[in-house]
């Protein structure tokens, strides 16, 4: 038979673990839907639909001149030339509804 002391110790350990989990639990924010991002960490909305180039900017920390003089943090244009992230569902499975427009 199982002695009551072992049962009490096991129940105490279980209760301690549950309490510690409740107190240290980090809740996720309400909007945690994953966004498709490119290798440059910008989303599809930052890439031009025609040229596929990125229009986002990257924070270049500890920027220096060509002589090595520190000039601080700078925002520079992203050098990504093509979106390589996941393609939107609509683009994969739905045909285009309108014919392409030619500029006259």
Q: 46 lies in a domain?
A: yes
53 in a structural domain: yes
Tokens describing residue 63: 């920027």
Q: In 3D, which of 34, 40, 31 has the Cα closest to residue 77? A: 40
pLDDT value for 16: 95
pTM: 0.46
Enclosing H/E stretch for 29 = none
Mean pLDDT, to the nearest integer, of 70-87? 84
Q: Give per-residue pLDDT as tens, 15-67.
A: 999 998 888 877 766 666 667 778 888 888 888 878 888 888 988 888 888 88
pLDDT at res. 13: 96
Per the structure, the complete domain to which residue 51 belongs is given by: 36-85
User: At CB < 8 A and 24+ separation, what contacts does 16-20 make?
Assistant: none
Question: What integer pLDDT is reported at residue 21 of this predicted model?
Answer: 84
Q: Is residue 69 part of a domain?
A: yes
In a domain, 44, yes or no: yes
Is 96 a domain residue? no
Cα separation, 50 vs 72, whole angstroms: 34
Total tally of structural domains belonging to the chain: 1
In angstroms, the CA 66 to CA 44 distance is: 33
């Amino acid at each position: 038979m199982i002695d009551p002391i072992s049962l009490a110790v096991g129940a105490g350990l279980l209760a301690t673990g549950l309490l510690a989990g409740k107190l240290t639990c980090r809740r996720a924010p309400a909007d945690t839907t994953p966004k498709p991002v490119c290798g440059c960490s910008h989303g599809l909305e930052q890439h031009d639909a025609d040229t596929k180039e990125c229009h986002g900017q990257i924070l270049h920390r500890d920027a220096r001149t060509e002589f090595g003089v520190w000039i601080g943090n700078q925002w520079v244009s992203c050098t990504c030339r093509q979106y390589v992230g996941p393609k939107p569902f609509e683009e994969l499975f739905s045909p285009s509804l309108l014919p392409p427009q030619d500029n006259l």
